[in-house]
Structure 1
Amino acid sequence: MRAPRLDAGYVCYNRSLADHVRRLAPPSCEVVNYHELCVEHYRRRHGEPEFSPDGFERMTQAYLDDCDGFEARLDLLIIDEGQDFSAEWVDSLCRLLRDGGRLYVLEDEAQRLYQKDGFELGEAVLIRCSDNFRTPRILCKLINALDLVRPPVRSMNPYDGEVPGIRTYASGAQLLAATEAAVQALLARGFAPGDIAIVCGRGRGSSQLLNRATIGGHRTRRFTGEYDRDGEHLWSDGELLIESVYRYKGQSAPAVVVTEFDFDTLDDKTRRMLFVALTRAQMAVELVLSPEAEQCLHAALQDAAG
């Protein structure tokens, strides 16, 4: 006897994460980020969308305004990156669940990079877990020594890993040179360019690296800032991925260069950004920091050592 069909959906915040999960999920599962839903709805109900910050805001508001009339069509809904969702967004998605449908919300307070208010789920069963299966043990020890997250992460990875290399920069030219040196150090350890992700602490508007066509002689694969008619991100053709820490959240690579991090205090936002950046690596990390950021981490490690 054939099992009954289960209509399932997965919705996250980052488009790049949705693209990644879409390659892993079965074809029968609808995988989108929240703004994709808004774009599809806007085109269906209101006309051709405009892909700009203001345009996305209008499409999101239209989705929220119309959600009372949505058809309940899902038996299972997974919301990922819940810390980046507003209560209104979650409510609009719950309209898609049939009676008796199941809702799973995955969130990580340590990865809250946007200023969104939290929300309650009523009688939901709450499960907390600090286990980390991706990150090498030595990086987990560094994360805990820097007090980047509470409760501390518990490493479940059998691989110890190595202490990250640290380089500093005091100018744009030094930033590029130090980042290229970090990439070269990973290549010398046997990682291929396709194994490496460069994760920047700044977004496209202020980064000195994210728009570069090449780094260390390698063509970069980067979001161009443009979209096709369907709202798909347009990417450059390169072998060395470069992304902001905001857009790379939820993904991982064997080796990561954490670069363009400039801070002089470990406030909550900085801790979260560092936590996200460090936990993208499956095997190795190289750090490129401003002198003030390096001194800040050094002081935090000294305090942890007593």
Structure 2
Amino acid sequence: MAVLWPKRLPRSVLDDPRRKAEVRVYDRLAEVLDESFHVFYSSPWLGTDRLGNEKDGECDFLIAHPEHGILAIEVKGGREISFDPRDSQWRSTDHGGFVHKIKDPVAQARSAKHEILKRLNDSPRWPSRFVHAAHGVIFPSAGSPPGNLGADRPTRIFCYSRQFHDGLGAWIAERLKAGQRPANCEPLGRDGIAALERLLAHPFTLSFRIGAALAEADTEFRVLEPSQYQILDMIADIPRALVRGGAGTGKTVVAIEEALRSAAAGQKTLLTCHSRPLASNLERKLKNVENLTVSGFHALCGQSSRQAGISAPSGISKRELYESALPNALYRAMEAQPALRWNTVIVDEGQDFRDDWWIALDACLLPDGRIRVFMDSNQRVYESAGDGVRDLSVVPVRLSRNLRNTKNIHKAASVHYSGPDIVADGPDGLEVSWVSAESPDAKVEAGYRELRRLVLNEEVAPGDIAVLVNGPVAKASFLERSSGTSIPLTDAEIMALEDVVVDTVRRFKGLERSAIVLIVSGDEMDQRELAYVAFSRARAYLCVVSSPMEAKWLSEGLSGA
């Protein structure tokens, strides 16, 4: 197979209907040429002007061979291609019958050939010499004409549909005069190939933005997500189910789907969780769904007890209020007003619930009702979690595939995971980025620079980013440092869709963003739970700002950190 630059086409090219013909040619060249040929696909790395038009001197493909020289190729799609000498206009008729004016492909290919030769001869690392250079045009869907199209447009420079399918390799060999190099031409040589790689492949690498990588990964995850719902069919006849899985296995996604299905079936349904930011996010997603109540656990306790006319005791500590008084009030409310109960109770992030809270949640269920508890299976972090829920006679079911994180992020988070095996089905993705800084102020500064780099240089949308810190002090420091930025900021509770989230790891639990900048500053990250949670919040890009000693602990077992 030919050496291809890039090695695979970005999702943005594959999904662009205007590039269909180029994608077909890219795939065909990979099939018919051997490893002695180097193929450079131009569009992704040379770019377009501010109006979206191709710049002069570009071509769709450049084929280079160390013995035979170079061939500049222009590709034009459409089932019919025509040229009218009266107005010197080329036209393409697409498969829908619409006619489009197109640039002169011969002139484009010829211009590109001369531009590449000029750049090659200007290269300081390549001794200038006369090499064979040719140009050609590929019409992968159009039939061949009866004869030459003009003095500068002989039939031999064109490759039409039949030749494209059955004789592309022979056409390329003929255009390059393979084995018949003109006497006045020298070989391009390996140094010529290397010079072209520096000229053409290097800019492609520079222009591949993290934002594009995130979009590509997100597209792949969207394809995977429907497979998560199969678990709901498995538990359809189980009235009390405990669904366990590690980070990224889709617990929240499946919990939402189960809530929607239950409500759509006319069942009075409750979806609850412990985290207030996660509850707020769920409420926004599921607003105004008939038969569905979405509420944080303690908000549920307060609202239900008020509806039943039951007051929590006064004069107690905040901790006692949340740990026992409010859950007790919820239990009493359900006993006093059975009409408040639900047909289906769904609990997300169940590992955060205290053992005695399950008694109150069980009281929320109507007789013959259904309960679904979604809980993390990380035994290293949540070793005793689930002891209380087992008293509800739940049947355990396991989620075993990570459909949220790229393989590289899954590998980093798995350092802090111990439990049933989980397989990451997503793309490999970008490597985890480790940024070294010692003092708290230096870490905040490094995190702020990384945020600006992602938004301003790497074309990542602010709404795809979260900056996570250890605690309120570090959060305040980062917000103070970024107070003058034009980048919009929000927190985990408001979670404005187009803004960067800046919040603590603990408050971001159960949430996710495509890109995470994690600033390790303070003692909280010494807890495996927060390291595990923080790493697994990133879908496709993770940057960790920490001291070398912290990085060593956080990445134990990983290479390259």
TM-score grouping bracket, smaller chain normalisation: 0.7 to 0.9
Aligned amino acid, residue 538 of structure 2: A
CA contact (8 A) 1:167 1:178 kept: yes
Q: Give yes or no for contact 1:41–1:63 (8 Å, CA) kept in 2.
A: no
Instruction: Specify the structure having the higher radius of gyration (Cα).
Output: 2
Counterpart position of 1:230: none
* Counterpart code for 2:293: E
Per-residue CA deviations over 1:204-249 (Å, capped at 9, x if unaligned) read 25655465372682343137xxxxxxxxx67999932111111111
Give 2:205's aligned residue: none
After superposition, the C-alpha distances for 1:177-229 in whole angstroms (9 at most, x for unaligned) are 110122133222221122110111x2225655465372682343137xxxxxx
Q: 1:210 to 1:61 in 2, by over 3 A?
A: farther
Corresponding residue to 2:533 among 268, 276, 279: 276
Q: Distance in 2 between matches of 1:215 and 1:192?
A: 19
Change (3 A) 1:195 1:139: same
SS in 1 for 2:480: coil
Q: Which residue is 2:87 aligned to?
A: none
- Residues 115 and 258 of structure 1, relative CA distance in 2, 3 Å threshold: farther
What is the TM-score of this pair, normalised by structure 1? 0.78
Question: In the alignment, is the contact (CA less than 8 A) between 1:204 and 1:210 conserved in 2?
Answer: no
**Partner residue of 2:272?**
11
Distance 2:479 2:305 in 1: 30
- Contact kept? 1:245, 1:277, Cα under 8 Å: yes
Aligned to 2:506: 246
* Residue 191 (1) aligns with residue 448 (2): no
Task: Say whether 1:289 aligns with 2:546.
Answer: yes
* Residue 290 (structure 1) shift: 2.1
Question: In the aligned structure 1, how far is the partner of 2:372 from the partner of 2:461?
Answer: 36
Give aligned-pair identity as a percent.
Answer: 23
Distance 1:89 1:277 in 2: 26
2:498 and 2:282 map into 1 onto residues whose CA distance is 21
Match of 1:140 in 2: 410
1:24 corresponds to = 285
User: Residue 357 of structure 2 is aligned with which of 89, 93, 118?
Assistant: 89
Deviates more, 1:30-39 or 1:17-26: 17-26
2:363 maps to amino acid:
R
Q: Is the 8 A contact 1:9 1:77 kept in 2?
A: yes
Q: Relative to structure 1, is the Cα distance of residues 96 and 168 closer, same or farther in structure 2, using a 3 angstrom cutoff?
A: same
Is 2:389 the counterpart of 1:128? no
Question: What 5-or-longer segments of structure 2 have no aligned partner?
Answer: 1-263
Q: Give the partner amino acid of 1:126.
A: P
Q: Tell me how far apart the structure 1 counterparts of residues 272 and 412 of structure 2 sit (CA, whole Å).
A: 32
Residue equivalent to 2:297: 34
Who is 1:167 aligned against? Answer: 435
Q: Take 2:382 and 2:419, find their aligned partners in 1: how far apart are those partners?
A: 16
Deviations 1:272-291 (A, max 9, x none): 32221121112211111122
- From 485, 489, 492, the equivalent of 1:220 is 489
1:58 and 1:127 map into 2 onto residues whose CA distance is 33
Bigger mean CA offset, 117-126 vs 7-16? 117-126
CA distance in 2, matches of 1:258, 1:62: 35
Query: Does the C-alpha gap of structure 1 residues 213 and 293 become closer, same or farther in structure 2, counting only changes over 3 Å?
Result: closer
* CA distance in structure 1 between the aligned counterparts of 2:362 and 2:449, rounded to whole angstroms: 48
Q: CA 1:103–1:42 in 2, change beyond 3 Å: closer, same or farther?
A: closer
1:82 Cα deviation after fit? 0.8
Matched with 1:226 is: none
Within 2, Cα distance between the matches of 1:237 and 1:153?
Answer: 30
Q: Report the CA distance between 1:29 and its aligned residue.
A: 0.8
RMSD: 3.5
Cα separation, 1, equivalents of 2:342 and 2:268: 5
The equivalent of 2:326 in structure 1 is: 63
Runs of 4+ aligned structure 1 residues displaced above 6 Å come to: 47-50, 113-117, 233-238
* 2-structure distance, mates of 1:149, 1:293: 20
Mind listing any 5+ residue stretches in structure 1 that lack a counterpart? 224-232
CA drift of 1:108 comes to 0.2
C-alpha separation between the residues in 2 aligned to 1:123 and 1:214?
Answer: 50
Note if contact 1:38-1:62 (Cα within 8 Å) is conserved in structure 2.
no
Which amino acid counterpart does residue 191 of structure 1 have in structure 2? V
**Which structure has the higher relative contact order (CA within 8 Å, separation 6+)?**
1
What is the CA–CA distance in structure 2 between the aligned matches of 1:27 and 1:211, rounded to whole Å? 39
Say whether the 8 Å CA contact 1:204–1:211 is kept in structure 2.
Answer: no
Tell me which protein shows more helix as a share of its residues. Answer: 2
Aligned positions, number? 284
CA contact (8 A) 1:262 1:292 kept: no
